[in-house]
Amino acid sequence: MPTLYIPHGGGPCFFMEWTAGPPDTWDRMAAWLRQLGGSIGAAPKSIVVISAHWEEEQFTVSGHPQPPLVYDYYGFPEHTYRIQYPAPGSPALAKRIGDLLSGAGIRAQIDPERGFDHGVFIPFKLVYPQAEIPVVQLSLKAGLDPQAHVEAGRALEPLRREGVLIVGSGMSYHNLNSFFRSRGPIAASDQFDAWLTQAACAPEADARNDALRRWEQAPGARASHPREEHLLPMMVAAGAAGADAGTKIFSDRVMGSTVSAYRFG
């Protein structure tokens, strides 16, 4: 299985009338997500999602057999708090993830109550709408150290050979103030996207991961990510890629910014 870094949009944007910008702001991203599952090929046995919207003191794995939904967005239409995505969890996969992380010397724990946040159910309601494939979430680690997240990804690489799809769910550009103030292309976003694409698509894994670890030195880095929680899911996906090079598989202009997605393998 490949690993992916995908955008999950803004709140429940794909399932409502968007009024904070042009009505078609999220249409191209939604259409791309709808075709993503088919583009991967054979359906994965399970999915591991690293979402920008879950942080813990140490890496934490969701262990609920039938996870509830966490509607962690605010101020949206009432119907968006009734969205359903009844995909099963997998306590067995959660334990496997915990064992892989622990075996790599990385502290990890299982949360048997954690539900799916919108970094999971919003995009995957489009990618795999049947909600039949088991999904397990992995949290970010507090402190948001890029090296720690690359190493966590490396520990999870064996899952790919077991039919598990590893997905980082975030946004390659995430500066909300600029999003809503923009009246044209955001230069910092374009600069950072060009750098991110060069880093992700580097032919050598060591060079790629080293560049990603030093992401703050990139042009437009902090202007694109005042806080990096939406970027770090990519670090896990890249770490899990092993020697597989990345390719850009989607890019769009969203409210003045460039937002992209990447596939490894």
pLDDT of residue 9: 96
pTM above 0.95, yes or no: yes
Taking 90 as the threshold, does the pLDDT of residue 87 lie above it? yes
Long-range contacts of 77-82 (CB under 8 A, 24+ apart): 77/16, 77/17, 79/15, 79/16, 80/11, 80/12, 80/15, 80/16
Taking 80 as the threshold, does the pLDDT of residue 181 lie above it? no
Residue 203 phi, psi (nearest 5): -70, -25
pLDDT of residue 81: 98
Helical spans, DSSP H, in 114-169: 118-127, 146-156
Average confidence (pLDDT) over 229-257: 97
Q: How far apart are CA 257 and CA 41, in angstroms?
A: 30
Helices 118-127, 27-40: crossing angle, 10 deg rounding:
70
The amino acid at 184: G
* CATH code matching the domain that covers 3-264, chosen among 3.30.450.20, 3.20.20.140, 3.30.420.40, 3.40.830.10: 3.40.830.10
pLDDT of residue 194: 98
pLDDT of residue 225: 97
Domain limits of the chain? 3-264
Question: If pLDDT is split at 50, 70 and 90, which confidence band does 20 have?
Answer: confident
115-166 confidence digits (pLDDT tens):
999 999 999 999 999 999 999 999 999 999 999 999 999 999 999 999 999 9
pLDDT of residue 201: 97
Question: If pLDDT is split at 50, 70 and 90, which confidence band does 53 have?
Answer: very high
Average pLDDT over the chain reads 97
The widest CA-to-CA distance across the chain, in whole angstroms, is: 49
pLDDT of residue 184: 76
pLDDT of residue 196: 98
